[in-house]
Structure 1
Amino acid sequence: MFYINTEIKFSIITKTDGDFNTSHLPKISTTVANKSRLLCLVTTQPANHATKALAVKETWGKACDILYFVSSEMVPELPAIRVQCEKYDHDHLLCKNIKAILYGLNKYRNQFDWFFKADDDTFVIVDNLRQLLDKHNPDTAIWFGCPFALGGNRNKTYPSGGAGYAMSRQSMYLMENALKNHTKCRFLNLKNRETGADDAEIGICLNELGAQIGDETDDRHLKRFFPFPPNTFIDKTTGFYEWFNVYNVNPVQKGLNCCSNTTISFHYVPSNDMYIYDFLLITNNQIQLKSCLNNLNIMFGDQRDVLGRHRFIPFSLQYLSNHNSNINNTGTNEYKSVFILF
């Protein structure tokens, strides 16, 4: 099961005198020091600016050192850059993403150690990503992601674009140099064509450059990057797509043991669910109870321990996402909870 492997004990203070006192609350410190500087690029489109892109910006995107989007329209508020391509459909993602990657490399050249590329429906647990990357030297050519077999050949792999992938700055420099000198990565120069699968082409380039494929799995050999949402892997009643069985390199089983406790990403996550995941995972260093309680109308169950503390909180994830009201009663209750992501 994928979960936050921490038991959290905290006090819930209900509304009194129109405000909350949170000074007594414990700090929740992450296990990851921000050693590596992370530059994040997210691909989006105008129809998603106010939904998916905004959800990324307001959730996991805040944990990046630098976040920018690429679209067919420039939106400074996100911020989203606009790149020039023949078209902006799915077939032209190669043009869109390669130009956006090179833009980020040039603009932020000395401001990042690792470059992370994702889609606007990818949810990322950045603390877990940093924990993985901090174990490696960004001055070596290496990449991390969900490795797919190129053409079904498991000796050559490429990173699944939807699951997101991280490239060291050295990998980026080698790619840039190859494009300038026209030595390798010939399909990335966009002179002959702008269409193609950008993740596969980048994988071909990384293979040509001799970049190392970093191990995405944990010490139990469980995957960390996923090209589908959590239910695809947890639900035992359905099978995987046949193409996934052919191309996926690192084995994954159905059920609660599908995913690493330090999972990094899921793809095809609706924007509303991003806010739910972000709330449950508590990615910030402090539990933001004041903000949460001001915006949630929570009813608590009567499953108490010997000290009168509640153990079960009977609200659904969708309830958290859709309700926006205040708690009306007053008083203080102690709760002892372990948040689990289903």
Structure 2
Amino acid sequence: MLSECSSFLKGVMLGSTVFALITILGHIRLGRRNGMHDHEHHHLQAPNKEEILKMSEAERVELSNSFRVYCLVPVTPKDVSLWAAVKETWIKHCDAAEFFSSERVKVFESVAVNESDTWLMLRMAYIYAFNKYKDQYNWFFLAYPTTFAVIENLKYFLLGKDPSQPFYLGQTEIKGGLEYVRLEGGVVLSIESIKRLNHLLTVTQMCPEEERQIWKMTEEVLLALCLRNAGVFAENAEDDEGKNLFNTKTIGMFIKEAITDYPNDIVGGCCSDMAITFSRLTPDQMHVLMYGVYRLRAFGHIFSDALVFLPPNGSDND
């Protein structure tokens, strides 16, 4: 009798638990559907070169000169070797760039935020960037010091994208129903997005100041939560073949994967020809990429790019 009663009670408890979970999940789905009904995820693609070729030469020159990208790189003193590599390589191609360090470092010029927590560093960097450059730049690109970026490819991808629209882009993932951009691959915010974020960063209920949660969340998830509360959603950047343009791995890692997955087409199966970033790099790997992307040339071969993105005045870029 006791065993039957015990089984009955266990069944009731199990059934109640399952019912409660179904109810909670139902509310989550309904909340997500109601709160995000006006947003449809996009796989944003690079523009069609043929459309650009239809423009006049004057229109193309004006278009290429109109794209200005401000770059932010958060660093810590232990990143000094990476810091130096970024400074000597790809960041020269940004129209303006600044390092944001957790503390002042004598050997490198940076904006010291006096904060070691990565999330708080990002918050302060975005507030600083918006307040100082909101009237000068429409695109704000943030990358970790382990990331190499091809800024010209970024500018080309942004052609036809409207910076007055609330979106941010990179390589997206979904976790617990939340779509967010992987910061490891770099993230681009439109001026409208950073404007909304700047306002929301002052509202603790909508954008938490610290990571003290029941479950500790990463800075990329916290950024996504804040941006979603501001009506800004993550978008995945890819080429016309569906390959990601913002990458969270090195080229070497992609090649190893392609050898296994695409043994008959390793190069085609690896990466996009229009790739914007590669990550998890050492200083030496950054210099190798700099050589391959900007310095190595095949003699006698003339590129016929539709647009030329000129370096900023006074830049010593390669």
Partner of 1:223: 244
Q: Secondary structure at the match of 2:185?
A: coil
Letter of the structure 2 residue corresponding to residue 160 of structure 1: R
Letter of the structure 1 residue corresponding to residue 146 of structure 2: D
CA RMSD of aligned residues (A): 3.1
TM-score (norm 2): 0.66
Shift of 1:213: 3.0
Alignment length (residue pairs): 238
Partner of 2:125: 100
Letter of the structure 1 residue corresponding to residue 198 of structure 2: E
Shift of 1:210: 2.1
Q: Secondary structure at the match of 2:180?
A: strand
Q: Is the 1:141–1:210 contact (alpha carbons within 8 Å) kept by the matching residues of 2? A: yes
Q: Secondary structure at the match of 2:169?
A: strand
From 68, 72, 80, the counterpart of 2:98: 68
Superposed CA deviations along residues 246-301 of structure 1, whole A, max 9, x for unmatched, are xxxxxxxx94233211001011111112122112211xxxx699xxxxxxxxxxxx
**1:55–1:191: structure 2 CA closer, same or farther, 3 Å change rule?**
closer
Q: Secondary structure at the match of 2:100?
A: strand
Higher helix content, 1 or 2: 2
Partner of 1:200: 221
Aligned: 1:35 with 2:66 = yes
Alpha-carbon distance in 1 for matches of 2:100, 2:236: 28
Superposed CA deviations along residues 21-44 of structure 1, whole A, max 9, x for unmatched, are xxxxxxxxx9x8242221111121
From 156, 177, 188, the counterpart of 1:131: 156
Shift of 1:134: 2.5
Shift of 1:84: 2.8
Q: Is the 1:141–1:211 contact (alpha carbons within 8 Å) kept by the matching residues of 2? A: yes
Q: Is the 1:68–1:78 contact (alpha carbons within 8 Å) kept by the matching residues of 2? A: no
From 79, 85, 102, the counterpart of 1:48: 79
Partner of 2:283: 271
Alpha-carbon distance in 2 for matches of 1:147, 1:224: 11
Q: Secondary structure at the match of 1:42?
A: strand
Shift of 1:226: 0.9
The percentage of aligned residue pairs carrying the same residue is 25
**1:276–1:158: structure 2 CA closer, same or farther, 3 Å change rule?**
same
Q: Is the 1:93–1:196 contact (alpha carbons within 8 Å) kept by the matching residues of 2? A: no
From 170, 176, 180, the counterpart of 2:198: 176
Moved over 6 A (4+): 237-240
Q: Structure 2, unaligned stretches of length 5 or more?
A: 1-60, 303-318
Q: Is the 2:173–2:180 contact (alpha carbons within 8 Å) kept by the matching residues of 1? A: yes
Q: Secondary structure at the match of 1:214?
A: strand
From 144, 147, 160, the counterpart of 2:182: 160
**1:71–1:128: structure 2 CA closer, same or farther, 3 Å change rule?**
same
Shift of 1:337: 6.9
TM-score (norm 1): 0.62
Q: Is the 2:167–2:235 contact (alpha carbons within 8 Å) kept by the matching residues of 1? A: yes
Q: Structure 1, unaligned stretches of length 5 or more?
A: 1-29, 241-253, 290-310, 312-334
Shift of 1:190: 4.0
Shift of 1:105: 1.4
Superposed CA deviations along residues 90-112 of structure 1, whole A, max 9, x for unmatched, are xx211122112211111222121
Partner of 2:17: none
Alpha-carbon distance in 1 for matches of 2:143, 2:241: 25
Alpha-carbon distance in 2 for matches of 1:145, 1:192: 26
Letter of the structure 2 residue corresponding to residue 60 of structure 1: W
Superposed CA deviations along residues 168-202 of structure 1, whole A, max 9, x for unmatched, are 010011111123355622x1x34978x84111111
Letter of the structure 2 residue corresponding to residue 277 of structure 1: L
Alpha-carbon distance in 2 for matches of 1:125, 1:173: 25
Partner of 1:115: 140
Q: Is the 2:259–2:266 contact (alpha carbons within 8 Å) kept by the matching residues of 1? A: no
Shift of 1:48: 2.2
Letter of the structure 1 residue corresponding to residue 72 of structure 2: L
